[in-house]
């Protein structure tokens, strides 16, 4: 009996040790900075919205009845997950530059490369291996020369701003991120924005927004770059003007989802929809960053923050995980099979599968090579 109790206690200690280790891996060290814990939760929300986009796309052949409309609606709603990522990037990157007395371009570039490339290159290699193993799913050109050029284009993060199809489906957004990473320190330096008063900078970024909206309306272009400007204004209002909202953040989030949902159904002006999200996300974050708000409380739930902390690994890898899972599903269920209920229950095991693969990538690659390495 004593031996049994001893083994039981050992198992409990081992389980406790595992959970403590897991928590340590999923919590980020913010150094001397006061962490915006709610921002971690916002990243979790953003990446879950992106999951819903690809889940809704891949399950479509098996969906029937009312679930077809719901799947299409959720697909449209989920697309603003990327826009939320852009707002948060706009805030963080601008903030690392504008309020620092000294800006070291080499250190900045090294940290950006270190943050993006280790995880990205591993996932790119996974996609390339999968392309050779499953030729019918491959995006690679058949001839070696064009194939090599295409792979190099993807490795340089060109798809997105340039008319190139990404090997990693979601990697188009990384070209937007890199463009912003390069452009914003150049603008801050050329315009000597650090010498401007806060109100002058706010006026400038509002003018950039209005000009960008009119430019897109008449000439087209990558209008979603303006979401970074929303993040810039968020930083000026939150950090430099000390503006916070205490109520309404959750309602603003659902209002943004509602406007996107209506645009998905009725197809009204995309510009109006995007500018609405621009404003609503800015105001929502002013509430989310307020520790006294209800939104801050639910955004700082540990599980949601942990998803946000591994969101980059999740963002890059969840797509191919879902693709493989649905290929297996296709072997088990004939393509002519359809159900009104499969959409509602299958997302849970699919989400768990994506969590498992993404967490593995996070632990083995992103955490040691990007997150921990930046502090060395």
Q: Mind listing the pLDDT tens digit for each residue in 93-145?
A: 999 999 888 889 999 999 999 999 999 999 999 999 999 999 988 999 999 99
Establish if 4 belongs to a structural domain. no
Torsion of CA 131, 134, 135, 138, to 10 degrees: -40
Q: What is the pLDDT of residue 35?
A: 54
Q: What is the pLDDT of residue 31?
A: 53
Residue 286 CA to residue 269 CA, distance in Å, equals: 26
Establish if 27 belongs to a structural domain. no
Residue 33 CA to residue 335 CA, distance in Å, equals: 52
Answer whether residue 71 shows pLDDT above 50. Answer: yes
Q: Residue 65: pLDDT band by 50, 70, 90 thresholds?
A: confident
Q: What is the pLDDT of residue 30?
A: 59
Range of the domain at 184: 38-375
Answer whether residue 12 shows pLDDT above 70. Answer: no
Q: What is the pLDDT of residue 6?
A: 58
Establish if 7 belongs to a structural domain. no
Angle at which helix 105-133 crosses helix 144-155, to 10 degrees, equals: 140
For residue 371, give the DSSP letter: I
Angle at which helix 80-98 crosses helix 226-235, to 10 degrees, equals: 50
Q: Is 339 helix (H, G, I), strand (E, B) or coil?
A: strand
Establish if 20 belongs to a structural domain. no
Q: What is the pLDDT of residue 154?
A: 97
Establish if 118 belongs to a structural domain. yes
Q: Residue 162: pLDDT band by 50, 70, 90 thresholds?
A: very high
Q: Residue 324: pLDDT band by 50, 70, 90 thresholds?
A: very high
Establish if 251 belongs to a structural domain. yes
State pTM to two decimals. Answer: 0.92
**What's the whole-number mean pLDDT along residues 311-321?**
97
Q: What is the pLDDT of residue 197?
A: 96
Establish if 263 belongs to a structural domain. yes
Q: Are 89 and 180 in contact (CB under 8 A)?
A: yes
Handedness of CA 334, 338, 339, 342 (dihedral sign): positive
Share of the chain above pLDDT 70, in %: 91
Count of domains observed in the chain = 1
Establish if 370 belongs to a structural domain. yes
**What's the whole-number mean pLDDT along residues 232-259?**
96
């Amino acid at each position: 009996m004593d031996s049994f109790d001893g083994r039981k206690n050992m198992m409990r200690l081992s389980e406790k040790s595992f959970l403590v280790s897991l928590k340590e891996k999923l919590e980020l060290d913010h150094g001397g900075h006061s962490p915006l814990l709610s921002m971690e939760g916002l990243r979790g929300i953003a990446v879950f919205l992106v999951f819903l986009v690809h889940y809704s796309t891949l399950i479509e052949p098996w969906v029937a009845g009312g679930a077809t409309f719901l799947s299409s609606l959720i697909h449209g709603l989920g697309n603003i997950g990327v826009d939320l990522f852009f707002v948060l990037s706009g805030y963080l990157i601008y903030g690392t530059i504008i309020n620092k007395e000294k800006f070291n371009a080499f250190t900045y570039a090294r940290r950006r490369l270190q943050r993006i490339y280790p995880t990205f290159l591993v996932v790119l290699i996974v996609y390339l291996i999968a392309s050779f193993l499953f030729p019918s799913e491959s995006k690679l050109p058949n001839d070696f020369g064009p194939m090599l050029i295409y792979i190099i284009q993807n490795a340089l993060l060109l798809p997105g701003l340039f008319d190139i199809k990404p090997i990693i489906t979601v990697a188009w957004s990384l070209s937007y991120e890199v463009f912003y990473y390069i452009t914003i320190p150049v603008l801050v330096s050329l315009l000597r924005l650090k010498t401007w008063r806060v109100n002058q900078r706010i006026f400038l970024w509002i003018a950039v927004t209005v000009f960008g909206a009119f430019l897109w309306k008449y000439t087209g272009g990558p209008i979603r770059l303006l979401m970074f400007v929303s993040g810039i204004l968020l930083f000026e209002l939150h950090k430099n003007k000390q503006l916070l909202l205490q109520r309404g953040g959750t309602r603003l989030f659902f209002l943004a989802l509602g406007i996107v949902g209506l645009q998905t159904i009725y197809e009204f002006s995309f510009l109006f929809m995007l500018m609405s999200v621009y404003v609503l996300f800015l105001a929502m974050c002013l509430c989310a960053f307020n520790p006294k708000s209800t939104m801050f409380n639910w955004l700082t739930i540990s599980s949601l923050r942990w998803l946000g902390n591994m969101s980059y690994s999740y963002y890059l890898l969840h797509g191919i995980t879902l693709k493989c899972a649905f290929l297996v599903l296709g072997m088990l269920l004939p393509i002519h099979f359809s159900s009104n209920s499969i959409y509602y229950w299958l997302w849970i095991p699919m989400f768990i599968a994506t969590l498992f693969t993404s967490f593995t990538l996070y632990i083995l690659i992103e955490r040691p090579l990007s997150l921990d390495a930046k502090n060395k």
